[in-house]
Amino acid sequence: MHHDAYRLLADQLAERGVDVTEVKAALKRQHVELPSWGFANTGTRFKTYAWRGAARNIYEKLEDASFVHKLTGICPSVAIHIPWDKVDDWTALAEFAAQRGLRIGAVNTNTFQADRYNFGSLTNADPAVRRLALEHHLECIAIAGQVGSKLLSLWYGDGTNYPGQESFIARRHRAIAFLSEMYAAMPSDMRLLLEYKFYEPAFYHTDFADWGQAYAICLKLGERAQVLVDLGHHPHGTNIEHIVATLLDESKLGGFHFNNRKYGDDDLIAGSINPFELFLIYNELVAAGDAAEGVVYMVDQCHYLEPKIEAMVHTVMNLQTAYAKALIVNRQALADRQAEHDILGAHRVLMEAYETDVRPLLARVREEMGLHPDPIAALKASGYEQRIAEARGVTPAGGGFPEGD
């Protein structure tokens, strides 16, 4: 049935001036990086829930990620988190990943769990604490080199809870000095991606509260320092696609942490709450053309009630859908309407693409890649979740994040 639907859709797109062959080629090149932590027991800051079959170590996380890649065909890399994913032999881990069609992606640092960071890590007034944090970052740089990663992903919970607690500027100067020393220690082919968050765990201020704060620091560091945009890290009403367009124009958009939210940093499945926003973000990325080369598309989600493998597959499919809809926007028609100040006409061009059912197109792309046209159906038929549940059982879970140091 979907073959007939695809032929009808292809004809419609051709009438709009869309090159379906180019669209399919772009969809086949799409790359979504999976998070290792998305396959472990996770939860909220109040409770981590045990999921039967959850990955217990980085090797099982890679096994699960490999299966998602097998179903979707566009997830060949996995981000790791240190110390959660620490192993004795990093070369062996990289080989283990390669044997499963994967490579290690971004290396994420962790300075938000240990008690020594209760007053901050890179912004801590105590130079001994800052030195320990720097040693951790240097360790992560070394790990990246051993696993073949060229990306260091940084997020900090540093901040204050009350007015007057500390000096904003003193903390900022400590952060700049810290990151400058770390940046100098990075290999010349490694990029630093600096993430921001306007609240939590610090609630009066965080040291990198928004994209402007992160952007300003990256400008001081150098061209290999770029901003990482997490879709859940903004106040309500923020025009994220405008931020994306600006950072692209400045060559400072390093990558994304894809998720979705209803209230705060909810880490829900990308596209599950606001699919139109996700489409508009991809629309800016497609419109940017070559300026979007090098942007890293990473998932950062917390699946604590829903089945983890199925949730990850849903995420990837939603990202494919948003990208496909952005690819079929009639760019010439949009430019013409904009030049004529045809406000609603330009809007209708975008809505025409957004409201198009691209499922037949994606099904055809998957078939041409040698995959099942419906990854969820393939997952259900595989019995994979049942097998890992039986093999792994239930790993006890507690409060907060899954692992500490």
Q: Per-residue pLDDT tens for 311-333?
A: 999 999 999 999 999 999 999 99
Mean pLDDT score of the chain, rounded to an integer? 95
* Contact call for residues 328 and 353 (beta carbons, < 8 A): yes
pLDDT value, residue 127: 98
Q: Is the pLDDT of residue 397 over 90?
A: no
Provide the β-strand partners of residue 253: 227
Residue 203: CATH number of its domain: 3.20.20.150
Question: What are the backbone angles phi and psi of residue 195, rounded to the nearest 5°?
Answer: -90, 155
Distances (CA, A) of 300 to 108, 215, 321: 11, 21, 18
**What pLDDT shows up at residue 396?**
79
Residue 391: exposure state from Cβ atoms within 10 A (0-12, 13-18, ≥19): exposed
- pLDDT over 70 at 402, yes or no: no
> What does the pLDDT read at residue 398?
55
pLDDT above 70 coverage of the chain, percent: 98
Identify the bridge partners of residue 192 per DSSP, sorted by sequence position: 152, 225
Radius of gyration of the chain (CA): 22
Q: Any idea what the Cα angle at residue 375 is, between residues 369 and 377, rounded to 5°?
A: 130
359 domain residue, yes or no: no
Question: Per the structure block, which two tokens stand in for 265?
Answer: 């940093």
Distance between CA atoms of 310 and 57, rounded to whole angstroms? 19
Residue 401 within a domain: no
pLDDT reading at 259 higher than 70:
yes
The pLDDT tens digits of the residues spanning 53-62 come to 999 999 999 9
Q: What is the mean pLDDT of residues 143-168?
A: 98
Tell me whether residue 390 is in a domain. no
Q: What is the mean pLDDT of residues 87-113?
A: 97
Q: What is the mean pLDDT of residues 163-186?
A: 98
- How much is the pLDDT for 395? 85
Whether the predicted pLDDT of 403 surpasses 70: no
Question: What is the per-residue pLDDT across 19-70, written as a single tens digit (0 to 9) for each?
Answer: 999 999 999 999 999 999 999 998 877 788 889 999 999 999 999 999 999 9
SS3 per residue for the chain: CHHHHHHHHHHHHHHCCCCHHHHHHHHHHCCCEEEHHHHCCCECCCCECCCCCCCCCHHHHHHHHHHHHHHHCCCCEEEEECCCCCCCCHHHHHHHHHHCCCEEEEEECCCCCCHHHCCCCCCCCCHHHHHHHHHHHHHHHHHHHHHCCCEEEECCCCEECCCCCCCHHHHHHHHHHHHHHHHHHCCCCCEEEEECCCCCCCCCEECCCCHHHHHHHHHHHCCCEEEEEECCCCCCCCCHHHHHHHHHHCCCEEEEEECECCCCCCCECCCCCCHHHHHHHHHHHHHHHHHHCCCEEEECCCCCCCCHHHHHHHHHHHHHHHHHHHHCCCHHHHHHHHHCCCHHHHHHHHHHHHCCCCHHHHHHHHHHCCCCCCHHHHHHHHCHHHHHHHHHCCCCCCCCCCCCC
Number of domains in the chain: 1
Q: For residue 404, what pLDDT band results from cuts at 50, 70 and 90?
A: very low
Residues of the chain above pLDDT 90, percent: 93
Q: What sign has the CA pseudo-torsion 193, 197, 200, 205?
A: positive
Asked if the structure places residue 39 within a domain, the reply is yes
- 102 in a structural domain: yes
Is residue 400's pLDDT more than 80? no
In a domain, 108, yes or no: yes
Q: Residue 405's pLDDT band (boundaries 50, 70, 90)?
A: very low
pTM over 0.75: yes
- Taking the C-alpha atoms of residue 300 and residue 303, their distance in angstroms, rounded to an integer, is 10
How many residues in the chain?
405
Domain of residue 88, residue span: 30-329
> Domain for residue 1, yes or no?
no
Distance CA 63, CA 69 (A): 10
Q: Is residue 61 part of a domain?
A: yes
